[in-house]
Each structure stands twice: as structure tokens, then as C-alpha cells.
Structure 1
């Protein structure tokens, strides 16, 4: 049997798995392919950290560590669905749910003081934020819109909001004393072990990180954001939004940038509600209510304070006196400052641009906005896009080209690997990075409250990244642009390496360029408006931003992307799209038994996984599964079988049925494998004959609450019952 690993993750993707996986397991088994699952959900990752506190029947294996090892095995074939990149509020909520279910996991220490508390905090540090992706992504990223998706978007263009030449929407960014401007970088000449330390004003040396192993040729960066400069910038941004009559909206990445961005988010909350914090900040701190956790957490905790009503009134006064806030849910009064993980830059900025430069205001209406992006490293990408739309109008999905991405991310490359090297400084002094010989290789003079961080990028992933870019440029006959800014210290070192490694390849006839991100944005938009394609070759964070920005504009969503990670050891990791709107989908399922999650990304990943399996195991039947699944997905799109937007239409479960129907029909009709065709013909006939009955069973459950027994760790039996409500479809698959 050939083997594929299918990950159990979180939220809507997990719910969809309960419906989809039984179908694909049944189909794949006929081709000698079996699936195994690994639980890398937030709840599963938490439980794996504390086996000694759990009963025997509660313990779970460390599936993430296991998959991390497998990713370095040439036989690896892993389908990875979107998972929660946990912010602190999400982590706390998951812990509370697990404890309520009888799992004796410890509370998250707010301010660890004892050795035991520090040990607990360290274990939770391995869980929060982007804990999963750096472990699994032992290769660089090849992400693009599949041909079927692009063709569908051109034939059935999604709605794009009109842009006005008078639009007041713009980006506000620091430009100085931020991570971009303060960055320093060096290339390690040999294998070494670095140390990060803070030398205080009185000469004391505080070790921030004792051991930081690096390899020869590794790029190591260090930078910081000035807290004073950040506060001054934010105070001015609040004033500007008020004066310009636009919505105030903050755009960060508090999930992936799990140390720095929640802190920055806290600065934003304090800046907007400055009078309230000036008067009541000490009381809030004493009660453990932190601005870093968002306005929602503060409101929730006010009941425990004697003067909670007075404090709430102070916050309400700030909202009344300040600029209008961009909203997450205006009907429920949830602002963009309620939860640090509600507005995530790579999803929120493209959505704003797509609907004409608007966000939703407190009145439930669209309005222009001041997009506050404190660090200027990539803010220019969004400003360039806004400028283009203001000057040229909205983009046209029916004619526009595409911008696929080749992303540098292998072996924890760049910023997403910086979490254990990010610090909010408790006192002023000098942060130094010292090599094994005791020489200072990087240093910054810092002040109390500044946010300092370092990150690493190994040489082998850079070399592989360049190779992948050249390969994709040649295969697609498309220009490839490295989005690198010579004015940024890190990028300057990468530019030198890119030029060196490009010389190792035959680039004859290829158009390969290096451009600063804002310039690359303008260049790509000029081409996209002409219907021309341009590969963006980017670092890790820009990979994440670009693979949302352009797909959301091109095809309406980033969840429909084909995302392949050719693992450097020879295996394959196949990712299934974005999960940014997953929480809203879960909420709708629980309230109305309707799941709007679109599994199209899973379909594309599955076909690529079968293709890889066929090539690496010489399984001809797996190749047939791949080609017929691609054909079925094209039929799925042409017949518009994605989940509808309202009750009474098919939801995620109905879309899975139609994929199963079309796939069975394609398998039954194909001529490459008579045995498979014969096996699938009765199923195809049965599903077609029962189509009306199955759809009726799937739709009939809608409109009432659904009990799945938990958000972070749903009950298996309850969720199975909710996600497989068609007895007719279940019987057909069981018989098959």
C-alpha cells in the first residue's frame, strides 16, 4: 500500500475533513493508496506537551514532532490543512475548553516566576503562533492558482468594488525607528554558536538567548522597533484618521508574529484609548487585563472590578471622541481592536482593496480607511496597490493575469523563525549578538519597552529557492522577480547570494529580475492589467502576503490555490489554502448547521499528492486518481458546486458529494485502467441515480443549531453525525 498522511487541524478545515476524508479514503483504497491521519490541531498540540498530567486514555502522541521527522524522509507525502496559529487569547480559550473537558492541562502563566511556571510557559511557547509551519516546511513554496480556477474566474468573474479617484484610503507606516530601518545583517563565515545578551546601562550582562547555532553561509539579522517612536506614530495616526474622516484600522499578524505583533497590537489599543489607560491603566494591569489581548478581553474582565462600569464608560468615551473604528462585526459591536487575531494583514488588506479601498464602519456601511501598518518593511506593497487602483480603477478578474509565488521558507527561514529570538526589553542598554569567539557581530542601543528580534536564513534553502525560481520561470515561460530591497540589510545579503546562485543555472532566454517590493508590486500590476503573468519570488513573510493579495484579487479567495512544497529531502508537502475565515464558518455551522467552507484547496492538494505518489512509488493507479480528480474538479467548478452563501443551497457537505459524483464518473469513463473503471462504474451510477435524494438529505438538516461538542476539540461522534447527515450517501460509500 502507498501511504499519504492527512492532517487533522482546526475549525472549518477540521469539520470538512469529517465529511471529505471518508470519501477519498474509499476511492483511494481501490488504487492501493491508504491514508493515515495525524492530529496537529491546537488542542492536540497542547495535550502532547503535558502527557505526565493526563490519564492513559487522554494522552496523545506528538504528531507534529513525528511529521517534522517525516518531512526529512524522501518518502514523505503529507497533505497539510490550515491550522490555528494561536494568539494568546486563542491559546487561553483552548486551554479552558480542554480543562472543562477533564484534561488536566495547566493554565498559561501570565508572568512566570517559579521554575515550574517557566517550564509550563516554555511548553506553551512551542504551541502558540506559527508552531506548525516551520516544522513541516522543510522545503520552499511553489504556490499558484490552478488553471481550472483561473479559467473559472475569467468566465465567472467575482465582484470587485469600484475605486474612486478621490478615495482617501491610504497606508500609514513608520518608516524610521522600525524593524526595517534598524535592521543589521551578517553572513556567518563558519559553523558557530551565537549568544544574544543585553548589556544594561550599569554594565550588567543579561543573557537573552544562551545558544543560537548557525551554519556556514547562514544569514543572521537583528533589528528592533522603538517603543517611543511607535507610540508617537500611533498617536499621530489616530489624529490623522480623525482629521481625514476615515476609519482607523490596524493591520498586523498577531498569529504568525506571535511575540512582536501582539505587543504592537497592545500599543495600538493603548494609543486609541489613551485617556482611558492614562486614568485606569494601573487598575487594569493589577487585574491582569492586558491591552495586548485586545479590547474584548478587557471588556470581559471589567465585571470583576468594583469600578468596571466607570472604566467601560471611559473606553466608550474614547470611541465617541476618536475616529470611527473599522469593524469585524458591526452588528455585534466587535471592532478591529477587540481581538489581536481578528484582523490579519495578509487577509484584511486584500479584502479592503478588493471592495474598493473600504472597510466596514460602526454603522454597517463601507468607508475609506487609514490602514495602520507600523513596520515599513512591506507596507509599500499595499500602498503601491492602492495607488494603482486609485489611478486605474478596479482590476478585472475576467482579463487580468496571474502572480504565482516561489517562496523562501525552508528550515524556518526568515521572520517566522524569529519567535524564540524576539524580546520586549525590560530595561535600556545594548543588545548584542556575540559569536563563539566572543566577538560582537551585531548590536543595537535600545530603550526599555523596545521590541528587539533576530532571525535566521540558512544557505541551503536560499540555494534551493533560487533553483526553484529558475525552474518555474522556465517551465511556465514567465518572468520571475525577486522582491528584494538593496536598502534593507537582510535583502542586501540575499541579493548577493541570489546573484551567486543564479550563475549556477542556465538562465538563457529567461527574464529574471531583482526589484524592491514596492517597485515589484507596480511592475506586476502593470503586467497583470495587460493579462500577463509574473512570478513573485519572495521571502517568507512576503510569500504569505502575496499568496493572499494576488489570489484574492484574481480569483476571489486564497483558499483555491495550489500550494506545493517540494521538500528538500525529496518528499512532498501539499498545502490546501488559507483558513482566515474559518472561525466565522464554525460559528455559522453551530448556529445553523450550515458550513460554507470551500474544500477546493483540498481537492487540488489531493490531486498533486496522488501525482507525486505515482512518480515516487511507480503506482500507475495513483496517476489515474490524479488525472481523473483534476477532471472532476474542473467539472465541479463549471457546474458551480462550491458551497452557496445562504441556507437552502448546498454547503460544504453537498460540495463533497458532487466531487464524489464527478470523480466516480471520470474514473468509470477513463480508459487507462480498466480495473478501476469497472470498480467505479456501479458507484457512479448509484450516486447519479440518488443525486436528488442525497442533496435533499444534506439540505434538510440546515436551519437549526448543531452540536459538535466543542470548538477546539470537537466530540468525534457528534461531529461525524453532523458532517455526514446523508444516510443514502453513507450507505453508498460503505457498500463501495
Structure 2
């Protein structure tokens, strides 16, 4: 029975969401010629919030839980989902989204920082479901295959992005904990048979508290538990602040408060307190009473000081702390936004590659670049960045015109590894022992803990691991490229994972392939040595390191991770096609609102769409879908060669113009193809219409730039207003409508 010809295109947030209003009509028009339906599902932060509070809203405001629906679809063989970047909400972002929705008439409760009533606890429980990286674990029912397409790599070599020069005397380094962090304290077990486990806290006073009720586990599953000790973290941070001042370098901290939504905001709060010890010693009780938590960042505290009777006094104390400490790395030196202002402003997987690409520099408070001490408290992957920094210090910056590539095969299916840790991560309130116990009461893992320690567990099922190994071998053979499993022999989880890799590799034909297992630091050195020789190396990694590597190497190779082809072959036969990273999306929205110019680059969407059509052709036998895939791939190559990506400057081509040119080149390729004469004839008319009206369409697209744009909201903009802003060319719209009328 053939699978249905349907593509689900996700409606997400910020710049990718705005771009969808412009590009989706192109997709719908072209897909209709192959009988392919394109449907959208709203998995934006605002949409997810609304779906969880239907009982608070009017019937007209209620929406279905689109994320849950897609989670079920991802397990079906007919799944064909194009996933755009979405907001992984920190608490400040979540509160902003709630406030905006309330202003639009949605009767949502406030986010309770310290819930005291049943209603507040219920609201907090619901909001917790949308914090952090809540989307990806639901959709990723397969492992990840991310690589730079040949057209993108060739373009980067012909048109290299800027790379800052490195000095041999650069003082930039990574600082990380040597002990008592998550890596050092990790314990890991392999579950022998199906059953359940629970997480308990046995207090020093003999009490027993259930941190996590019993939940199912499967035979062969890896379960880990670990703790970061607060006292050791505080001592480490104090040392690094002093080190940065002594060495005369910027101080910065690099965490992932979005994905690691429980642990990393807490760690971020420790950094803020460590940087301002005198302030928190004198005024900590006042700040706590006012609900101003360091875990939400310095910006949130400063914004709330006006409501305190001694707010001006506390603000002055913070200013003295900044003056007395080392120079802080800045997010925006013009606006005074420091590295410590917002936990979600500096995300390690994007911020560290950007620093390495820029001579090992970050921006200082004086508006100039400077060497930096990059603090990454947990040592699990910090060595990866230090290895690259050391290499650049000795050998200089990488050359995009000659450097090789590091594609990635990532273990992420079924919430593998730390993505599954959110509901199993706890800031410990009372001293005692955390235990992981099975259904028979046997203690599998235990750690002594003190108040303030951060304890977490994660689980990795056996089926995804088997699929991961298979995908690694498949990619190594398909690309004739060495594949390296990045596994740390000093980390308990990786020891168990390596045993499984070595057990499952013999199930596959590896004759003639180079497949290695190395520690992350050694694998980094091996890969960058090959990069400098122009050679490719597949990194085969766990989930978090997948996130880091698929930003680190693409940013160095291509200038951005948004240009990567990201395919998730779903375990049950479907396909999930991701479109790159969205870290710069907020700045793009700000520019659109100010100047009606959207510089978001939709190249990732073009690449994902071609893969989606190809998957559909393979699974359904739809010949026209394959033609759409092949011609779109060629059109994307022309798009790059003709340099039709959005400009950063107002008055020049932006996202809307890039969609027009992609549609033009795609129509030209469809008109030239010889497999389907009817399709070629129909698109010959489209190509002619788009070509002959080029000046008119460009004039309509460019004429709106330079003035403010009203989209009616940031997290949930007004649909009609965004449509008007993102589709200003009536001529382009008429051509697409004519195509649907003729061939759709």
C-alpha cells in the first residue's frame, strides 16, 4: 500500500517563522504539480503554551497539541516532516511569551517562580513542558545525519567567509573543572531486563523523598547518574574570575541553558553570584525576597531593582562589582549587555565556534575584541574546544578554501542521552544520598549530595544505539570517509556505550572501511589534522556532542551551521528533515521590525525540502516528487553561484528576494528537464513569467524596505499583518497562483 504524499511543514518562531510566510506559498505551488499536499503544524513557543491551557481559554483561542500529534506521526512510516528552528525557551523568554499572549487576550496564568498553591503548581507543571529543548526530543525518533552538501561546500571554497587571524601568543583558553563535575562523578549501568526504576533522595535525617516516580526501562538500556557539587563549582568559579583578571583577558561563561534547562540555569546563577560575591552577601536576602534570581541572569535582576526601596543602592553595588572584576565579555557592548545578563544569550555550541572563528576573541565592554577565558564548568566536552584553540594558536586559522569537512552521525533517537535528562535533573534541597533503585528495591546508582548540588540522570535505549552504529557504517561506506566514534574512556557512560559499539559493529560489513574509537579530545585533533589537509572525517557522537560538533565545524567551514543538510532517518521508516540553527534569529526579527528587511537565509529550508521530496519519491513511487527534488538541488546550486542569499543591508536583497530567485531558478530547471514533458511545458511558462517580471518583482520587494514593519507581536504575531509584510509582491503572488491553476 503506497504511503500518502504529504509533507508536514512546521510553523515555528522568530525569523524562520517569518520566512515561512514568504517561502511556503512557493513550496505549496510547486508541490501541487506533483500531487503533494503541504500542511503546517504550529509548534512555536506560543502555540505550545496555548495548547496546554485550553481550559483557561475561549473556544476560539483553543488549539490542538500539534507537537504531540507530530510526535506520534514521527513513529509512523509515512512521516515526512520538515522541522524549522524553534525557540528553546529560557525562563525569561517563557515569561515574555506569556506576557505577550496575555496582552493579546489569552487568560493565561503568570509563570510562578515559587509555586505555593495547587493552581500555581499546576501552572508551573504545564509551563515546564515547554521550557528548554522541549520540541526536538519529541520529534527525533531517529538518529541524525548532518553534512555539508557538495553545492554548499563548493560555494564556501569559491566564496570564503572571513576568518580572524590567530596569534601564537593568544591568551585565549578554556577553563573547566578537574573534579566533582558531571563527567568526574558519573556512574552508569546497563539494565538487564525490562522493568522500572525510580529516583529517591534518602535524607541525612532518615527521610525518603521521591524525586522521580517509577518509570519504565528496557533491557539493554544505559542508565546514568551524576552530580555537580555546588561547593566545588563555586570554588572553581572564584578561581577563574581571579585568573581572568590576573591574565588581563575577558571573562565569559558558556553553557546551554536552553537544552539543559534545569542544570544550566542553576549553574549560570552560580556564575552570577560568584562574580558579585559582595553584592549577594549584603543584598542576597533582599533579592531573593523580591523573586530576583541569579539563575535568570543579571539583566533580570537589574530590571527588577526599581521595585525595591533600596534598588538604587543595589544597582550601584552591581556597578562596583563590574568595575572591580575582570572585564566581562559582552553580548552587546553598545547596549551594555554582558555575558551574564541572560542565560540564553550565550549558548556554548554557537558562542565557542564564533569565538574561535574570530581570532579567539569576544567583544569587550570597550567595544573592541580581546582574548578570552571561556569558562565551561563541566569537563565532558570542554577539551574539544581547547584542542581547537591550541591548534589555531600553533597553526593559525583554518582556510575555508581548502579545509576538509566533519559531517556528523549523532545518537539522538528516542530522547537519547542528556536530552532525556530534563525530568531527571534536580537541584538538591537537603543533604543525603540520591539513589536510583529498580522495581525490586535494588540500588543501581547512588551519590552523596549536599544542598545546592545538581544531580541528574539520563537514559539511552538500546534500539537507537544499534541504529546509530548502522547509520555510521552506512555513511562511512556511502562517502568513503573514515568514521570516528567520539567516546571518552574516563567517562562511565561512554565506557558502556563503547562496549555496545564494539558488540554491534560486527553485525555490519566494515570491510575496507576506517572506523575508529577515540576520546573527544583525540578525535578532535585527528579530525582537525585531516581538515588542514583538505580531508573529511565523520564524527560519530552522542546527542549533546552532536549539537556541539554540528555547530563547531560548519561555522569554521561554511561560516554558519544553517547551511548544513540535516536528515533524520526515522527508525520506523519516515523522514525528519531539519533546516539548520536559529541562534541569530532574534536579531533578524529586530531588523525586520525596524527596517522591514529580513536577512534570514533560507538555504537550510531549500536543502531540507529537496531531501523531503526525494524521500517521498523513494517511499511512494511519486516520479514527479523526484523531479522536484533533482531540479531543486540544481536550482540551489545556481542560487549559490549567483549569490542570491540575503544581504545584511537594508535596500538590498533580503529573504523575500532570495525566495523569488530560488523560485525562478527552480522553474528554469523544471522547464529544462526531459523526464516529464507536461511538467516542463507548464514550468516554461512560469520561468518566462518570473524572468520577464524580474524588475517589477524586485521593485515591489525592495520598495517596502527602510521603514518599520508592524507584525503585531513577537512570539505570536498577527497572521494577516505578517502575510502583508512577507508577501509584498503582488506580481510574484499572481505567478504562483497561475501555476496552481494550470498544473496543481
Q: Which deviates more from structure 2 when the two are superposed, residues 330-339 or residues 163-172?
A: 330-339
Give 1:253-402 correspondences, 5 Å limit.
253-402=256-405
Instruction: State the 1:555 CA deviation.
Output: 0.6
Give 1:118-267 correspondences, 5 Å limit.
118-267=121-270
Instruction: State the 1:276 CA deviation.
Output: 1.1
Residue ranges of structure 1 left out of the alignment (5+ in a row): none
Residue ranges of structure 2 left out of the alignment (5+ in a row): 740-744
Q: Which deviates more from structure 2 when the two are superposed, residues 724-733 or residues 518-527?
A: 724-733
Distance 2:325 2:389 in 1: 25
Instruction: State the 1:228 CA deviation.
Output: 0.4
Distance 1:28 1:439 in 2: 56
Distance 1:506 1:655 in 2: 44
1:121-165 deviation line (CA, Å, top 9, x unaligned) = 111111111110000000000000011000000111111000000
Instruction: State the 1:520 CA deviation.
Output: 0.3
Distance 1:267 1:330 in 2: 23
Q: Which deviates more from structure 2 when the two are superposed, residues 153-162 or residues 120-129?
A: 120-129
Distance 2:480 2:672 in 1: 33
Instruction: State the 1:108 CA deviation.
Output: 1.1
SS of corresponding position for 1:411: coil
SS of corresponding position for 2:615: helix
- Equivalent residue number for residue 691 of structure 1: 694
Distance 2:265 2:667 in 1: 47
- Equivalent residue number for residue 713 of structure 2: 710
- Equivalent residue number for residue 594 of structure 2: 591
Instruction: State the 1:211 CA deviation.
Output: 1.5
Give 1:626-645 correspondences, 5 Å limit.
626-645=629-648
Distance 1:501 1:221 in 2: 21
- Equivalent residue number for residue 77 of structure 2: 74
Distance 2:198 2:527 in 1: 41
- Equivalent residue number for residue 606 of structure 1: 609
Distance 1:593 1:100 in 2: 24
Q: Which deviates more from structure 2 when the two are superposed, residues 719-728 or residues 526-535?
A: 719-728
Distance 1:79 1:474 in 2: 26
Residue 734 (structure 1) aligned with residue 737 (structure 2): yes
Distance 1:709 1:294 in 2: 28
SS of corresponding position for 2:419: helix
Instruction: State the 1:375 CA deviation.
Output: 0.2
Distance 2:730 2:298 in 1: 45
Residue 515 (structure 1) aligned with residue 522 (structure 2): no
Q: Which deviates more from structure 2 when the two are superposed, residues 506-515 or residues 694-703?
A: 694-703
Instruction: State the 1:42 CA deviation.
Output: 0.3
1:542-593 deviation line (CA, Å, top 9, x unaligned) = 0000000000000100000000000001000000000001001111111111
Distance 2:613 2:674 in 1: 18
Distance 2:127 2:195 in 1: 28
Instruction: State the 1:279 CA deviation.
Output: 1.1
Distance 1:185 1:532 in 2: 35
Distance 2:312 2:658 in 1: 48
- Aligned residue pair count: 736
Residue 677 (structure 1) aligned with residue 680 (structure 2): yes
Residue 470 (structure 1) aligned with residue 486 (structure 2): no
Residue 83 (structure 1) aligned with residue 86 (structure 2): yes
Distance 1:540 1:245 in 2: 35
Distance 1:49 1:327 in 2: 36
Distance 1:346 1:286 in 2: 34
Instruction: State the 1:116 CA deviation.
Output: 2.4
User: Which of 110, 115, 121 does residue 113 from structure 2 map onto?
Assistant: 110
SS of corresponding position for 2:484: strand
User: Which of 87, 101, 110 does residue 104 from structure 2 map onto?
Assistant: 101
Instruction: State the 1:113 CA deviation.
Output: 2.3
Residue 527 (structure 1) aligned with residue 535 (structure 2): no
Distance 2:706 2:272 in 1: 37
Distance 2:646 2:479 in 1: 31
Give 1:438-587 correspondences, 5 Å limit.
438-587=441-590
SS of corresponding position for 1:185: strand
SS of corresponding position for 1:705: coil
SS of corresponding position for 1:181: helix
Instruction: State the 1:468 CA deviation.
Output: 0.2
Aligned CA RMSD, in angstroms, stands at 0.7
Distance 1:639 1:366 in 2: 33
Distance 1:711 1:154 in 2: 37
1:7-46 deviation line (CA, Å, top 9, x unaligned) = 0000000000000001110111011111000000000000
Distance 1:699 1:333 in 2: 33
Distance 1:439 1:262 in 2: 32
Distance 2:214 2:52 in 1: 22
SS of corresponding position for 1:708: coil
Residue 623 (structure 1) aligned with residue 626 (structure 2): yes
Instruction: State the 1:696 CA deviation.
Output: 1.6
Instruction: State the 1:111 CA deviation.
Output: 1.2
Distance 1:333 1:503 in 2: 56
SS of corresponding position for 1:503: helix
1:105-127 deviation line (CA, Å, top 9, x unaligned) = 11111112223222221111111
Distance 1:349 1:242 in 2: 20
1:698-717 deviation line (CA, Å, top 9, x unaligned) = 11111111100000001000
SS of corresponding position for 2:223: strand
1:390-439 deviation line (CA, Å, top 9, x unaligned) = 01000000000000000000000000110000000001100000111101
Instruction: State the 1:637 CA deviation.
Output: 0.1
User: Which of 422, 425, 430 does residue 422 from structure 1 map onto?
Assistant: 425
User: Which of 28, 36, 51 does residue 33 from structure 1 map onto?
Assistant: 36
Instruction: State the 1:734 CA deviation.
Output: 2.0
1:671-712 deviation line (CA, Å, top 9, x unaligned) = 111111111111100110111111121111111111000000
Distance 2:238 2:350 in 1: 25
Distance 1:47 1:127 in 2: 10
Distance 1:589 1:340 in 2: 24
SS of corresponding position for 2:131: coil
SS of corresponding position for 2:459: strand
Distance 1:689 1:212 in 2: 63
